[in-house]
């Protein structure tokens, strides 16, 4: 239970901060998280809303870690999909992409399968 709570805590801090910045100061994450690879558009606010929702659900996950584990599964799916559909082709084509975000996503994709309570899902 400690590992899953640490993941929720990391979500609260990282996704919460990025979510708030994306919603209210979209140029900041465009320059930092996205490394100016993508223009600052309203899409950043949309993604910020998702990240803030993940942070808020993770806050509840601190108290009910198993019940709120679907948020971790969601993260695993969307981060893995982004890596496969955006980062890998960019690497192959030697195009620019946010390497910091890709590195963070890769770590999360490697960690989450060991933290997600699969036995809760497979009964």
Q: Tens of pLDDT along 18-33? A: 999 999 999 998 889 8
Is the pLDDT at 117 greater than 90? The verdict is: yes
DSSP 45-66: HHHHHHHHHHHHHHHHHTTSTT
Q: Of all residues in the chain, what percent carry a pLDDT higher than 70? A: 99
Cα distance between residue 55 and residue 71, in whole Å: 9
pLDDT of residue 73: 97
Q: Tens of pLDDT along 93-110? A: 999 999 999 999 999 999
State which residues form the domain around 64.
2-121
Structurally, the chain folds into a number of domains equal to: 1
Residue matched to tokens 């695993």: 76
């Amino acid at each position: 239970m400690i590992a899953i709570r640490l993941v929720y805590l990391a979500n609260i801090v990282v996704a919460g901060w990025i979510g708030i910045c994306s919603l209210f100061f979209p140029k900041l994450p465009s320059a930092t998280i996205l490394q100016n690879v993508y223009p600052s558009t309203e899409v950043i606010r949309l993604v910020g809303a998702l990240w803030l929702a993940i942070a808020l659900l993770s806050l509840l996950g601190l108290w009910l870690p198993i019940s709120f584990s679907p948020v971790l599964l969601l993260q695993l799916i969307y981060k893995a999909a982004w890596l496969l559909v955006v980062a890998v082709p960019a690497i192959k084509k030697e195009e620019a992409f946010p390497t910091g975000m890709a590195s963070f996503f890769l770590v999360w994709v490697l960690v989450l399968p060991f933290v997600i309570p699969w036995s809760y899902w497979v009964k």
